[in-house]
Amino acid sequence: MTLVYDPTDPDIRRNPHELFARLRETEPVHWSPKLSGWVVTNYELATDVLVTNSIYSADRFVPFQKHLSEERRATAAEIMRWFKHWMVFRDPPDHTRLRRHMANILNVPVFDAKSEAITSVVNELLDRIPVGQDVDFFQAFSLWMPGIIVADLLGVERDKLLEVKQWSDDMMTFIGSSRGVPDKYERASRGANAMGNHFLELIAKRRADPRDDAVSMLIASEVDGERLTDDELVGCMMMVLNGGHETTANLLNNSMLALVSHPEVMKDLRDNPGKMTTAVDEFLRYDSPVLSLGRLVTQDTELGEKTLKAGDRVFVMLVGANRDPEVFRNPNDLNITRMPNPHMAFGKGAHFCLGTPLARLEGQIALNAILERFQRIELCEPVESIPWLNSLVTRGPTRLPLRLQ
Ligand code: HEM
């Protein structure tokens, strides 16, 4: 029987695990006609791709633009003005230089200093949850908490947050959506330009009047005597805003879903909040907030007995690798004390997530606060009726109908 991975199938979006398990066993490097690319579901092969930058490039836009019509290419060029500086899409040496700058603002001391702010944002949002009533937890909490934290980090005013979120969503249709989203280039370019101009203004303000914040630090950051250009600064800020927002929202949503479907785990964690450290990593493994990472093959090569050609696209399925039984015992079990837990929810190799400690901290603080405050948490709809995101990048439900009391 031929297995077909179709990311537009709503059932597969909700539960790709069984299909990925069968692919991993029979064809760990699988050609998906729907994606026009290779789908990798085995942990070891996924690692090979992510650590071998010389063969699997993170720069997946340049060749892609060649296939666009002239009109679309002009729109794409506007978006690329900013995207081309996202280090997540760059290869060394440019990637290394940008990452050194970014490490000046994304590091453990900076994140640890956010701990109190995270607790207060979490409590502020939880105070507003109507007790005992049906609520979309995504809109009420998961979306806002990481959004506010990352916006604060970047100096975006809170009253701008809704607008910035809309720009960000529009922009992400360019890279995140599978086919079938109408006018995605126009939407993406509108969003990217609006956000670009907003950040340019912010940079000008901070340059004239520096503050003790990440933007001012990034403006002042020097690597080998060089500073970032304004467009690079905007690119970096956009990337942090996107990278630190929806991913963490999905971590919260996917963790809550895992908890409501495992009441015994919920009780254990409520009674033993100290277990939250390993639990968050298990939630990250069990239903990873990032579905796949894209790479572009730069020279003909072999992977898992398949021949990949220069120019082919590869989708490393983190969700598949994270349930590989060769690495994780009983991978379909949610085991909150799993140790070691070498999941790759934050990627691997040169592009390993720079926000990892912040994401973990946000997850630990938020989930402990939720469990401490609410003794009964239930899903108000059958889990099968909840649609999941139509994205190749982020993975989670589009809404989370919960009742908390
Ligand atoms: C649960 C939350 C998060 C998840 C699952 C996640 C996941 C990832 C993954 C898988 C990558 C690797 C991308 C690739 O190899 O192509 C990555 C990169 C990155 N993430 Fe995260 N992330 C999260 C939260 C954050 C936060 C909170 C921030 C910052 C505030 C952040 C900043 C970044 C940056 C800057 C990169 C690019 C690193 C590079 O290219 O060298 N992430 N993230």
Q: Which two tokens stand for residue 209?
A: 């009047």
Which comes out higher in pLDDT, residue 24 or 82?
24
Domain-embedded: residue 17: no
E strand segments, 284-356:
292-297, 301-303, 306-308, 313-317
Give the model confidence (pLDDT) of 337-390 as tens digits.
Answer: 999 999 999 999 999 999 999 999 999 999 999 999 999 999 999 999 999 998
Domain-embedded: residue 70: yes
Range of the domain at 187: 64-288+335-404
Quick one: how many helices (H) and strands (E) in the chain? 19, 10
Phi (first) and psi of residue 4, to 5 degrees: -125, 125
Domain-embedded: residue 356: yes
Cα 278 to chain centroid, rounded: 20
Percent of the chain with pLDDT over 90: 82
Domain-embedded: residue 227: yes
* 174 burial via Cβ count (<10 Å: 0-12, 13-18, 19+): buried
Q: In this structure, what CATH number is given to the domain that contains residue 195? A: 1.10.630.10
Domain-embedded: residue 28: no
What is the C-alpha separation between 262 and 185, in angstroms, rounded? 41
Domain-embedded: residue 247: yes
pLDDT at position 77, please? 84
Residues with CB under 6 A from ligand 1: 58, 87-88, 99, 102, 106, 150, 239-240, 243-244, 247-248, 251, 289-290, 293, 345-347, 351, 353-355, 358-359
Nearest CA to ligand 1 atom 31: 355
Count of the separate structural domains present in the chain: 1
pLDDT at position 176, please? 58
First and final C-alpha spacing in the chain: 48
Domain-embedded: residue 57: no
Position 148 pLDDT exceeds 80: yes
* CA 70 – ligand 1 centroid, Å: 32
**Residue 220 confidence class, pLDDT cut points 50, 70, 90:** very high
pLDDT at position 152, please? 92
Domain-embedded: residue 84: yes
Q: Which residues contact 201 (CB under 8 A, 6 or more apart)?
A: none
Give this prediction's pTM: 0.95
Q: Average per-residue pLDDT in the chain?
A: 94
SS3 for 29?
strand
What is the C-alpha separation between 304 and 153, in angstroms, rounded? 42
Q: Which residues contact 45 (CB under 8 A, 6 or more apart)?
A: 28, 29, 303, 304
